[in-house]
Structure 1
Amino acid sequence: MPDATDADGLTVGQVSTRLGVTVRALHHWDEIGLARPSLRTAAGYRLYTAGDLERLHRIAVYREIGLGLDRIQAILDDSTADVPGALRAQRAQVAERIDRLQQLSAGLDRMIDAHERGLLLTVEQQAAIFGPQWNPDWPAQARQRYGDTTQWLQYAERSASRGPEEWQAIADAIAGLDRALGDAMDAGVTPGSPEANQLVERHREVFASYFPLTRQMQVCLGRRFEADPAFAAHYDGIRAGLATWFRRIIDASARAHGIDPDTATWQ
């Protein structure tokens, strides 16, 4: 390596600043023979010439578009290398990454909307799926009341991936459970019986469409089904007294699993 004065080339630090490449990267490229400085000062410091800088610039460009160092070295040092072919192949990979990033962006948009709105359906879709008794203001009211809870986050994450078909399946499952509850009450099914306990488990499974429901949380819901006027009206509209009967079968199932309904909390 020829000697030179400081005026004949650029130091590693100067090249790093000019090209926006780290000193560590320059040292690594030097070590693997990808881009070695051509000059050395009398004091032993390596310097990059204008030709070295041109090669470094090309390396930086190729790195920016995602080419690996081995591929870059082949392009720079092999006169027979198919540079346009390599760049076309890299362009195809970039296009695939762009597509994946666009999908990710769309998914993030849906997740944000789900956290803020809860239900990613139009008012018309909500009415068609949940029926004329559905109030489209309910999701916003639920977010205002529960938006800072873990359960709302879980609900939103599930909601973000659902379209009308998935929500229709959930609505059908809930309607089927409501009918089964009314039929069981009519048939004289008693709290604590296998039939009643099976319905309680079915409720937990259906409700898991919104968020995971522990048995203690289910007890708390049972209380609300009976005490809250809107919930009570829903269940008692199916069968008179169903809200209380539903709460009783939930409590009986909880006792069978070692939970005292009188002291159960939302956990």
Structure 2
Amino acid sequence: MAMKVREVADLVGTSVRTLHHYDEIGLLTPKETTDAGYRLYSNEDLELLQQILFFRELDFPLKKIKEIISSPTFNRQQALELHRKMLLDKRKQIDQMIQTIDKTIMYTKGEIQMSNKEKFEGFDLSSNPYEQEARERWGDETVEKSKAALNSMTKDEQKALGEQMNSIYRDLASVRHTSPESEEAQEAIKKWYDFLNSGKIGHHYSLEAFQGLGQMYVDDERFTKNIDQFGSGLALFMRDAMAVFAENNQK
């Protein structure tokens, strides 16, 4: 049964003005209206609103949310799984901050000693660590650029590209039992970084994005399964090696 804007606002606990704003910016525009011009929200609209509010709860700006959910490759199931992971991490951080507050209260009462490091445990002043992952999956024009780059190649060129990728994976698999910080590991992972940024696949990875991509290799079981075909534990090794590479090459 379709719902009017006031009914949706009451159901969700938001304001009519907020829903009107979402409509105005093209973030959530109900397809149905009454003869009198009132917006009617379908179950599909409500599901999309839930998705939007999950992103908002995790501090994504509205512009970025619109970009993500408007992508033709957006996958609701994947997004929900990402939300869950992000919320679990957020809960862990909040629990840590509560512990820091409790210890600080005891410290101000003179009941315990507290190191300077302990005073700041739980704070996270970095940018949203999952925004890059969301952008890699659904944002910007990454997918379309990659498709365009591949479509512009002949079949022989595509085959050669695949063979080059496989060769790099095999080289990485051969050193996966060494330390990710070893010279061999870093030389091998640099080949992967250079390949991704060669322009052959229509995308450029910053060091931050490169590290985020490595984390995705472990977080997304599909990546893990494909990569580990070249050697058990390769995805985990690549994640660690990519993180070391990004850190070592930061200016």
* TM score, norm. by length of structure 2: 0.42
Question: Considering only CA atoms, is the larger Rg found in Structure 1 or Structure 2?
Answer: 1
